[in-house]
Amino acid sequence: MQKIILLVLFLSIGMTIQAQWNKVKSTSVTFKIKNAGIGVDGKFSKMNTQITIDESNPSKSSFLGTIEANSINTGINLRDNHLKDKEEFFNTSKYPTLTMKSVNVVQKSAGIYTVTWDLTMKGVARRFSSEVITKIEGGNFIASTQFKINRNDWNLGGNSMTMGDAVTVKINSILTK
């Protein structure tokens, strides 16, 4: 009887460990905003991402990303320097990082989670939710989300007459066990 209990306990532990994905291979963060009626695409290239997906207990899953604001790239150096240096934009000398942290994870359906986030930019934290869609592909766990934020909620860009308020953000992460 003890052997059966030990075997069940061992298998349960093994299944729990196997259900957790927590080694981040890569993460990409891209965004799009309208400026003078034209879509401007950009990305951040330097970040630290810590993700744990617990498929057996989704509420124990967590997401944390810290982006180096000065790694912004829109394909035009002059614009990038303006975004990095100006007080009305990222002001990277005073606010070097952007942080996005999950505060609640709920499984909506198979492979779809509703995540509540705290996003902090320029010392301003705001809470919102987005759907994180996951899939297993080629031995990797892929998690992605897309959401819109209003740049004014974080005091980004001032009262621009040419820049749109809505920013579409896409985040994709690839994890292994």
Element (H, E) at 78: helix 77-85
Write the DSSP symbol of residue 87. Answer: T
Give yes or no for a contact between 44 and 73, defined as CB atoms under 8 angstroms apart: yes
pTM, whole model, 2 decimals? 0.86
pLDDT in tens, the chain (177 residues): 443 333 333 333 333 334 578 889 999 999 999 999 999 999 999 999 999 888 789 999 999 999 999 999 999 999 999 999 999 999 999 999 999 999 999 999 999 999 999 999 999 999 999 999 999 999 999 999 999 999 999 999 999 889 999 999 999 999 988
Give yes or no for a contact between 65 and 47, defined as CB atoms under 8 angstroms apart: yes
Contacts of residues 34-39 at CB distance under 8 Å and 24 or more positions apart, as own/partner, are 34/163, 34/164, 34/166, 35/162, 35/163, 35/164, 36/162, 36/163, 37/162
Q: How far is CA 22 from the centre of its chain?
A: 14
Name the 3-class secondary structure at 57.
coil
Domains of the chain: 21-176 (2.40.128.110)
